[in-house]
């Protein structure tokens, strides 16, 4: 079965072809990051307009790359949320149109389920069950993934997502958007011990996260240091801030592993591209003799391969039933 995945939930246009036996045949991505950088964040209307321009050329690219034609596609999987409503509607309408034209079923996929199951794209894929740490610009969650569709939320952020905190801290240091990769590069030149950033929630016995205190600590510290002081200490500030985020993520994951025996851990979402986080989680799993599934780097941020992978257990809808899908901006499906 050949599944065409379409992802347009935010500022990345993704297309992918996944064969249920042979695995991922091709995936293509266009990032709009350069377009939004001047605004310091994603401008929803610009994002939607750009998705419209990109989807069909990217579709051609994945078909050519995989040596397939549209006639080979058996089903179309499309992200219906959460995300920017206008951006999601572009992918959903292309998915509907292709389903209609090809006479093939359409599947609606939850964006977070895509990230959650993206470790299945690793070679070899992890077997169920596993515990997943899902860290993106919009979400920070620890989940028990017991089987297809059987997920249990163990803990989540009470305020900002880890990626959001990273982007805001990076902005304080005058780095562009998104801040994660730039913050990581700057931190490599710094000393994480120079400044005392709070690692939040360590005394809290639960598995929830919080990053707002850390963000505020950065604002105050920058104010105290003044512009020349910040300039002189940028690398140390970046290193300390990044380390506080990584420490919190790893200490909560470690606590989840204390509570229940898990054969495997999976790390996914855009922030899972972070080198020090990958390193710290690898060490934690090695210490405990637990298998670790790192999502391949290009598939950590938003992409359509994970949407096609997550659709494997989703119910296919035939014409005209898939017209009932609606894009949803936040939270749960309506
Ligand atoms: O999953 P994603 O592409 O989009 C959302 O669904 O949010 O995640 C984007 C987030 C951004 O906050 C970005 O700064 C962060 O992932 N990110 C990183 C790195 N690469 C991307 N954070 C830390 N280190 C990185 N290398
Ligand atoms: Zn995402």
Please tell me the total count of domains within the chain: 2
Contacts of 283 (CB under 8 A, 6+ apart): none
Q: Which helix (H) or strand (E) holds 172?
A: helix 162-172
CB of residue 166 inside a 6 A radius of ligand 1: yes
Q: What is the per-residue pLDDT across 256-275, written as a single tens digit (0 to 9) for each?
A: 999 999 999 999 888 999 99
User: Do residues 136 and 284 share a domain?
Assistant: yes
CB of residue 58 inside a 6 A radius of ligand 1: no
Average pLDDT, the chain: 93
Residue 333 maps to a domain: no
> pTM of the entire structure?
0.88
User: Do residues 69 and 186 share a domain?
Assistant: no
Question: Residue 27 above 90 pLDDT?
Answer: yes
Q: What is the per-residue pLDDT across 73-117, written as a single tens digit (0 to 9) for each?
A: 999 999 999 999 999 999 999 999 999 999 999 999 999 899 999
Cα 211 from Cα 224, distance rounded (Å): 20
At 320, list the tokens.
Answer: 């005209």
Query: Is the separation of the CB atoms in 253 and 142 below 8 Å?
Result: yes
pLDDT, position 198: 84
Query: Is the separation of the CB atoms in 126 and 147 below 8 Å?
Result: no
Q: Roughly how many angstroms between the first and final C-alpha of the chain, as a whole number? A: 29
Residue 332 maps to a domain: no
Query: Is the separation of the CB atoms in 113 and 83 below 8 Å?
Result: no
CB of residue 268 inside a 6 A radius of ligand 1: no
Query: Cβ of 61: how many Cβ atoms within 10 Å?
Result: 17
* Closest C-alpha among 328, 266, 323, 327 to residue 299: 266
Residue 107's domain spans which residues? 2-117+300-324
Q: What percent of the chain has pLDDT over 90?
A: 80
Which of 137, 162, 168 to mutate for ligand 1's pocket (most ligand atoms within 8 Å of CB)? 137
Taken in order 300, 106, 110, 60, is the CA torsion positive or negative? positive
Residue 330 maps to a domain: no
User: Do residues 157 and 232 share a domain?
Assistant: yes
Q: What is the per-residue pLDDT across 272-326, written as a single tens digit (0 to 9) for each?
A: 999 999 999 999 999 999 999 988 888 988 999 999 999 988 889 999 999 988 7
Residue with tokens 């299945």: 120
């Amino acid at each position: 079965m050949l599944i065409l995945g379409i992802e347009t939930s935010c500022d990345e246009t993704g297309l992918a072809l996944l064969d249920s036996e042979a695995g991922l045949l091709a995936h293509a991505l266009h990032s709009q990051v350069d377009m939004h950088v001047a605004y310091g964040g994603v401008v929803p209307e610009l994002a939607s307009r750009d998705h419209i321009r990109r989807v069909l050329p990217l579709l051609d690219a994945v078909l050519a790359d995989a040596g397939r034609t549209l006639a080979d596609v058996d089903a179309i999987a499309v992200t219906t949320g959460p995300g920017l409503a206008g951006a999601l509607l572009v992918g959903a309408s292309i998915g509907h149109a292709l389903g209609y034209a090809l006479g093939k079923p359409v599947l609606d996929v939850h964006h977070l389920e895509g990230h959650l199951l993206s470790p299945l794209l690793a070679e070899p894929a992890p077997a169920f069950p596993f515990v997943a740490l899902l860290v993106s610009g919009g979400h920070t969650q620890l989940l028990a993934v017991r089987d297809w569709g059987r997920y249990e939320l163990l803990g989540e952020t009470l305020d900002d997502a880890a990626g959001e905190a990273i982007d805001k801290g990076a902005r304080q240091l005058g780095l562009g958007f998104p801040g994660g990769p730039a913050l990581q590069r700057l931190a490599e030149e710094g000393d994480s011990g120079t400044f005392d950033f709070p690692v939040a929630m360590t005394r809290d016995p639960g598995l929830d996260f919080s990053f707002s205190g850390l963000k505020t600590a950065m604002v105050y510290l920058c104010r105290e240091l003044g512009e020349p002081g910040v300039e002189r200490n940028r690398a140390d500030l970046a290193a300390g801030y990044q380390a506080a985020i990584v420490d919190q993520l790893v200490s909560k994951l470690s606590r989840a592993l204390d509570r229940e025996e898990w054969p495997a851990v999976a790390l996914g979402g855009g922030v899972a591209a972070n080198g020090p986080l990958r390193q710290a989680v690898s060490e934690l799993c090695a210490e405990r003799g637990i298998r670790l599934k790192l999502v391949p780097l290009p598939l950590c941020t938003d992409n359509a391969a994970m949407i096609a992978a997550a659709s494997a257990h989703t119910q296919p809808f035939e014409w005209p039933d898939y017209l009932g899908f609606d894009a949803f901006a936040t939270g749960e499906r309506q």
